[in-house]
């Protein structure tokens, strides 16, 4: 049998020594609000101290910030050896797919912003999964036409869309890469064959999800050998993953989308108990889409991100523009009044998001959502000290989309983000996902398949009409991923992004407000206590927010809930005046800054 298709996963386990790792609203809450986000990282004090040393760094040449030290360090070696940001992207993503498989991988999709220093051009790349050609709009409806429960829809083949990550890596490397494609896969291949150490967060995620992982034989064999979850510190090998990467190294990224390879994935999806609709045609027809970045003015900057099918750039941009229009800079960073205004601006942006944003190839997205006059109109609704009691999508110059209505999708908090700056001045910001933690729970060829189709609205219409983000064949589901590059006088100033489901929008917008408006250090900004309000309820980060501030929110009339808000913000600030790169990783996860 050809080595590239020897897909039996080989696992070697070895326990390492303890010394090695020890208010009322128009918008209804999402069902996912009732579900805990991805569980917090379980760390011993020893591990926490070791990881903390990698959370912030200054450098002068190049830098990588990603969700795992294996990935950041491997990508740094690519940069040290003369590779550029697009080269490092291939390495960091393929390593993350191995060591952080619950969050992203070959079976998922991604959005990437790339600033080409030579051409002085910023481009957005859409590697989002697509709905199979054979799906119908009632994909997630039961026989009685009521929506399925979230995990009824997620687990199995029904939720799997056409993966876009490999195509995206190949497309961007094909345009900008300077190193041979196959060479960039070697770090992940070696790690898969020689073994990597299970991190605290991965071990905790497996233990938490063991019941669902048990539904698929390959996932069960890999993550639960002998019926027990992989434990922190174990050494794991994944020969099947290495075999796939060797095949891609030899044949190129397009090999992933050939009938010969795709049929192994299709067979898995269609033979699942919760049968899916993916076909070989979906793979052979898949294409990465180059899109214009969506940029919003904020103070003296242009904050640029991924437009539809992602809601990230539009929603983040609306929040920033309304925050500036409401003169929020007049208040100190920990002011209840400031966060009340930011929270209500966020609620207004989510009302627009849930009504007007969807795949632009299937829906005519309004062009006025970042219009300055429209933003002023929305900002006029904000009153300091007086939270909004009703929130509705906006209209502008009688141009509302009357043919569509608000639709809420269930979007979970399991994704990854990495930021890269190379010595030539190229800047990359990429957010990548398989959607829910461990995706569909289907494992094939050593990697997990996404459950991205559950990012569509489960219902396709209600009594008011059709929903923009309804399921349609070949359509890309709406996302909240917000890979962002901040521009100042035509040059990149910052690259930032985060995992976190629809709260990504909160995490990124709030961090930009802290860094750009209140001039906080990137590390302090991204690790400050989170405040998240999308649909009226004020979610405050457990054990981090001042009790007096929470009391003020309650006095204003907000319903508040303390919860884990597990972002994974990764930022690089470019200090051009001092020729410095300032990198920071979120202390809530296992992010690592690497640079010279």
454-475: average pLDDT:
92
In this predicted model, what pLDDT tens digit does every residue of 322-368 receive, in sequence order? 999 999 999 999 999 999 999 999 999 999 999 999 999 999 999 99
CB atoms within 10 A of CB 77: 14
419-437: average pLDDT:
98
pLDDT of residue 399: 54
Residue 346 sits at φ, ψ, to 5 deg, of -65, -40
State yes or no: pLDDT of 183 exceeds 50: yes
493: three-class secondary structure by DSSP: strand
- The four Cα atoms 551, 386, 354, 288 give a dihedral, to 10 degrees, of -80
Helices assigned H by DSSP within 53-149: 69-80, 85-99
In this predicted model, what pLDDT tens digit does every residue of 204-219 receive, in sequence order? 999 999 999 999 999 9
417: three-class secondary structure by DSSP: strand
Q: Using CA atoms, how far apart are residues 99 and 492, in angstroms rounded to an integer?
A: 30
pLDDT of residue 2: 36
DSSP annotation string for 204-247: HHHHHTHHHHTTSHHHHHHHSGGGS---TT-EE--HHHHHHHHH
Q: Are residues 480 and 408 in contact, defined by beta-carbon separation less than 8 angstroms?
A: no
Helices assigned H by DSSP within 252-279: 259-270
pLDDT of residue 272: 96
Using alpha carbons, list the distances in angstroms from residue 473 to 101, 270, 362, 480, 573: 27, 17, 10, 21, 40
Q: Are residues 96 and 199 in contact, defined by beta-carbon separation less than 8 angstroms?
A: no
State yes or no: pLDDT of 578 exceeds 50: yes
9-29: average pLDDT:
36
State yes or no: pLDDT of 41 exceeds 70: no
Q: Are residues 310 and 119 in contact, defined by beta-carbon separation less than 8 angstroms?
A: no
Q: Using CA atoms, how far apart are residues 534 and 528, in angstroms rounded to an integer?
A: 19
State yes or no: pLDDT of 16 exceeds 80: no
Least confident interval from 16-25, 242-251, 469-478 = 16-25
pLDDT of residue 465: 87
- How far does CA 136 lie from the centroid of its chain? 26
pLDDT of residue 260: 97
Considering the entire predicted model, what is its pTM?
0.92
Is the peptide bond preceding residue 309 cis, with omega within 30 degrees of 0?
yes
State yes or no: pLDDT of 43 exceeds 90: no
pLDDT of residue 464: 79
Q: Are strands 56-59 and 404-405 parallel, antiparallel or unpaired?
A: unpaired
> Between these two residues, 559 and 23, which has the higher pLDDT value?
559
pLDDT of residue 9: 36
State yes or no: pLDDT of 52 exceeds 80: no
Sheet with strand 121-127: strands edge to edge: 289-291, 121-127, 109-116, 427-433, 415-421, 63-66, 592-595
90: three-class secondary structure by DSSP: helix
Mean pLDDT of the chain: 90
Percent of the chain with pLDDT over 90: 85
In this predicted model, what pLDDT tens digit does every residue of 374-419 receive, in sequence order? 999 999 999 999 999 999 999 987 554 434 444 444 444 479 999 9
Q: Are residues 248 and 256 in contact, defined by beta-carbon separation less than 8 angstroms?
A: yes
413-437: average pLDDT:
95
Residues with active-site annotation: 415
pLDDT of residue 398: 54
Percent of the chain with pLDDT over 70: 88
All domains of the chain in start order, with CATH: 3-117+146-291+414-589 (3.60.20.40)
pLDDT of residue 48: 43
Q: Are residues 15 and 231 in contact, defined by beta-carbon separation less than 8 angstroms?
A: yes
511-525: average pLDDT:
98
Q: What are the beta bridge partners of residue 73? A: none
Strands (E) located in 181-234:
196-197
State yes or no: pLDDT of 525 exceeds 60: yes
Please tell me what DSSP assigns to residue 527.
T
State yes or no: pLDDT of 47 exceeds 70: no
Q: Distance from first CA to last CA of the chain, Å, rounded?
A: 44
Confidence of residue 462 (pLDDT cuts 50, 70, 90): confident
99-105: average pLDDT:
98
């Amino acid at each position: 049998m050809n080595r590239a298709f020897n897909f039996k996963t080989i696992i070697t386990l070895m326990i390492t020594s303890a010394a090695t790792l020890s208010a009322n609203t128009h918008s209804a809450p999402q069902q996912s609000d009732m579900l805990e986000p991805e569980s917090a990282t379980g760390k011993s004090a020893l591990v926490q101290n070791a990881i903390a040393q990698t959370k912030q760094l200054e450098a002068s040449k190049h830098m990588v910030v990603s969700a795992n030290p294996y990935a950041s360090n491997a990508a740094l070696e690519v940069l040290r050896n003369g590779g550029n940001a697009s080269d490092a992207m291939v390495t960091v993503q393929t390593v993350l797919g191995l060591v952080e498989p619950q969050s992203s991988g070959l079976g998922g999709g991604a959005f990437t912003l790339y600033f080409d220093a030579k051409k002085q051009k910023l481009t957005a790349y859409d590697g989002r999964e697509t709905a199979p050609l054979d799906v119908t709009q009632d994909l997630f409806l039961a026989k009685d036409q009521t929506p399925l429960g979230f995990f009824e829809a997620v687990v199995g083949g029904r939720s799997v869309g056409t993966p876009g990550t490999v195509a995206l890596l190949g497309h961007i490397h094909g345009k900008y890469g300077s190193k041979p494609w196959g060479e960039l896969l070697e770090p992940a291949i070696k790690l898969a064959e020689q073994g990597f150490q299970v991190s605290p967060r991965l071990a905790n995620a497996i233990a938490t999800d063991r019941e669902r992982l048990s539904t698929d034989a390959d996932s069960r064999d890999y993550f639960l050998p002998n019926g027990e979850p992989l434990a922190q510190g174990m050494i794991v090998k994944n020969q099947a993953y290495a075999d796939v990467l060797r095949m891609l190294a030899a044949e190129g990224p397009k090999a992933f989308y050939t009938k010969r390879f795709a049929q192994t994935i299709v067979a898995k999806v269609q033979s699942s108990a919760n049968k899916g609709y993916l076909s070989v045609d979906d793979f052979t027809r898949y294409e990465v889409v180059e899109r214009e970045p969506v940029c919003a003015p904020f103070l003296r900057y242009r904050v640029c991100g991924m437009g539809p099918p992602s809601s990230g750039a539009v929603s983040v941009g609306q929040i920033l523009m309304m925050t500036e229009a409401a003169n929020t800079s007049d208040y100190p960073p920990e002011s209840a009044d400031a966060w009340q205004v930011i929270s209500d601006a966020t609620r207004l942006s989510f009302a627009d998001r849930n009504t007007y944003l969807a795949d632009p190839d299937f829906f005519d997205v309004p062009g006025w959502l970042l219009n300055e006059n429209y933003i002023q109109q929305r900002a006029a609704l904000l009153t300091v000290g007086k939270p909004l009691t009703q929130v509705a999508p906006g209209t502008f110059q009688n141009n509302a989309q009357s043919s569509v209505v608000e639709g809420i999708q269930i979007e979970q908090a399991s994704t990854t983000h990495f930021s890269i700056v190379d010595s030539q001045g190229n800047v990359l910001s990429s957010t990548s996902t398989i959607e829910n933690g461990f995706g569909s729970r289907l494992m094939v060829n050593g990697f997990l398949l996404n459950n991205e189709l559950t990012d569509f609205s489960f219902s396709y219409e209600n009594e008011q009409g059709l929903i923009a983000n309804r399921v349609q064949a070949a359509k890309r589901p709406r996302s909240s991923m917000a890979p962002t590059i901040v521009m100042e006088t035509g040059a990149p100033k910052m690259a930032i992004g985060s995992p976190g489901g629809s709260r990504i929008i909160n995490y990124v917008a709030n961090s930009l407000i802290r860094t750009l408006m209140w001039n906080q250090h990137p590390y302090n900004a991204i690790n400050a206590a989170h405040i998240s309000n999308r649909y009226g309820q004020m979610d405050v980060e457990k054990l981090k927010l001042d009790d007096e501030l929470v009391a003020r929110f309650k006095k204003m009339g907000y319903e508040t809930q303390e919860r884990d808000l597990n972002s994974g913000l990764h930022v690089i600030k470019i200090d051009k005046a001092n020729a410095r790169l300032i990198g920071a990783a979120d202390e809530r996860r296992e992010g690592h800054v690497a640079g010279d």
